[in-house]
Structure 1
């Protein structure tokens, strides 16, 4: 058990030398460290050099009396927790109540009895020690609970992110597979269709060369179908179909690239392929509509090496940031006409480069949307924080993005924004 006498310093404040000597000797013999002061002014000065664990304070003293000294002690954050025990020969209730209301913990009536003084001092030192210990334990427990909450939130984010990527990966992989089969069939058959058409045209040419004057029914059918236009336009139709099929194949490839199942290990990946795949998937939100022109995506790609990363998760970060940029642009369009938006078009700039030390890849995604206030920027990566209406945002997107970049890739995700001017997110990822 803690020996309070060996570890405690007692300050005795009394203008009577005899009282100081008697109480000081008693406390010293009991094992306490003792310091003394003859008045309130000197006591306050001494305390600035070394804080006592308890103060025995005479009420009636010249200059600053004990009550005023106690008031000063209790208004100073440095000394307000030190127990003060008044020593007084006055026994009226009013003085005692006033002293206790100022923050004193007890009274000792003069002439002081040694056993009583020691008993009261030990009691209040023990109470102070227990209070301090309890406060420390509460602070430690609060810190532990706070850390546990943070760990739980981080774990929840990991589960949500993992489940989302797993479900998305399976869905997208299934869609890409289902698309690939018919598209490959169409793509392969278009080449045969072109050959068949050319063969039919050759046969028609031979008929026209050898039978330049067909019967009336054939001439009428040729006129009805406009054979010359058909033979000139059909190649264009087949070319358009080939381009459409190739676009579907590109989308399918983008879907597969976007949803790569690499949660358990890092792989070498091309950052630009991930960004392009994400833009391809978001194409439907970028194209023009009845209320606004197309959102322009301006890319300034630097020369980047392959990066060791969780590419599927990194693509999710691009998706979250680009989706937020589109949302910010659409919000900025509220109240603006189509022509007004044309004059000040919606734009997203994507810039990639290497850091000065060539150790990191920098990806900047900037928009000219509504922007954010400084208060929102401080909270933007917090768990469940969202500025969107109920049902439109979960508050998880940027929180998960921050976790992916900072914890999974040991990188940084920063934001700089000005209200009504737009926002810029900067992703920093170590190359290895």
Structure 2
């Protein structure tokens, strides 16, 4: 059974006898056939038609078959059309030359009709399958491109989710820290107002020149001795509260400062300190456990070129994770047990060879297994319960350190012996 009987074939040959034999045979086999007498004529006709296969004679006047094939393969409009050379040449060098120009096969004169039909059908089938494959590849590529875009959108959404999670933690910490000083300022203002009213009234008695007995009686009523002792303390307490709110405000600005397109000089210790202050509400003592101790062993570091806001996000993630690990380690332990072996986060900074800084954040919490350590920086990996972690924090942290700052972020840990995260960052931008 013949295949591709409706395919369109062009014959390019200057020999009328050969052309007529091929034309009659192929047409009888069900093909549509077009004839060109030489290379120039073929190239001209190919501007208007697009055959499925070309039978091209090698030896022709004007431009020969090799040059004609070379021009066909150089044109985007015809380069995919399969070319079969027709030749009486038996020299292998000529055949290699033709194949190197892009031809798919040779047919040797005089023609054997069965061989011609077999080769034509074979290469038409291969050409058809190749087109199908290219179409499937294009469709699959489009599908993969669409899937990649969707994945990138999902990743952006997850990154945004992680930022919102960090923002929620930040807001909760700031609200807690501000509520405390604001609360005692508000409470002290009530007493302060009463004290002022009593003092004003007491002074008014002097202005009225009342008797010493009445002044003494009023002093006893308002407990003047205690009032004069407590009033400076109340003012000092409110001053302390205001200063604390100012410190929180400064830390918040330091933590969340907007980065420019270029790196700027920044004091790493300011970033760490601001993060600790924002997380202070999670470090305080409660009914279940004593306060978490933060030990800061700071070295003498220069200002470094970096994106401060991004580094602060890394510090927030690592210190918050350390607190999570310590809280997990406290499960099942009594207050006295924890006090005997207190929760601790140790932060150490060091200058290495004047070119890099090293930041270590270590806790004495639950630690990690080897399996967890291998996955801890992977996207979406988390050991936290559903709804309590996105699995993006450490992946984003590593991206910030490695890709944005040309540094490294590594972890060392053993189960029940805590974990240590080590960050190295170049002092100056290497780019």
Contact 2:311 2:400 in 1 (8 A): yes
Are 2:296 and 1:299 equivalent residues in the alignment? yes
Look up the SS of the partner of 2:365 in the other structure.
Answer: coil
Alpha-carbon distance change, 169 to 378 in structure 1, aligned in 2, over 3 angstroms: closer
Alpha-carbon distance change, 160 to 273 in structure 1, aligned in 2, over 3 angstroms: farther
Partner of 2:254: 257
Are 2:326 and 1:326 equivalent residues in the alignment? no
Partner of 1:364: 360
Contact 2:360 2:421 in 1 (8 A): yes
Are 2:335 and 1:338 equivalent residues in the alignment? yes
1:38-49 correspondence runs (5 A): none
TM norm structure 2? 0.56
Partner of 2:285: 288
Q: Kindly state the Cα deviation for residue 276 of structure 1 after the two structures are TM-superposed.
A: 0.4
CA–CA separation in structure 2 for the residues paired with 1:383 and 1:360: 27
Look up the SS of the partner of 1:375 in the other structure.
Answer: helix
Q: Kindly state the Cα deviation for residue 395 of structure 1 after the two structures are TM-superposed.
A: 0.3
CA–CA separation in structure 2 for the residues paired with 1:267 and 1:215: 70
User: Structure 2: any 5+ residue segments left out of the alignment?
Assistant: 1-89, 93-117
CA–CA separation in structure 2 for the residues paired with 1:255 and 1:334: 31
Task: From 412, 420, 427, give the equivalent of 1:424.
Answer: 420
Contact 2:325 2:367 in 1 (8 A): yes
CA–CA separation in structure 1 for the residues paired with 2:329 and 2:297: 24
Task: From 212, 218, 221, give the equivalent of 1:214.
Answer: 212
Contact 1:267 1:309 in 2 (8 A): yes
Instruction: Provide, for residues 50-104 of structure 1, a one-character-per-residue CA deviation record: whole Å limited to 9, x for no partner.
Output: xxxxxxxxxxxxxxxxxxxxxxxxxxxxxxxxxxxxxxxxxxxxxxxxxxxxxxx
Instruction: Provide, for residues 126-162 of structure 1, a one-character-per-residue CA deviation record: whole Å limited to 9, x for no partner.
Output: x9xx9xxx9xx99xx99x979x96x986775566546
Partner of 1:382: 378
Alpha-carbon distance change, 166 to 331 in structure 1, aligned in 2, over 3 angstroms: closer
Partner of 1:271: 268
Q: Kindly state the Cα deviation for residue 229 of structure 1 after the two structures are TM-superposed.
A: 1.5
Alpha-carbon distance change, 373 to 145 in structure 1, aligned in 2, over 3 angstroms: farther
Partner of 1:230: 227
Alpha-carbon distance change, 248 to 326 in structure 1, aligned in 2, over 3 angstroms: same
Are 2:379 and 1:347 equivalent residues in the alignment? no
Q: Kindly state the Cα deviation for residue 358 of structure 1 after the two structures are TM-superposed.
A: 1.6
Alpha-carbon distance change, 431 to 153 in structure 1, aligned in 2, over 3 angstroms: farther
Contact 2:322 2:365 in 1 (8 A): yes
Contact 1:165 1:259 in 2 (8 A): no
RMSD: 4.5
Alpha-carbon distance change, 205 to 350 in structure 1, aligned in 2, over 3 angstroms: farther
Are 2:286 and 1:309 equivalent residues in the alignment? no
CA–CA separation in structure 2 for the residues paired with 1:152 and 1:358: 44
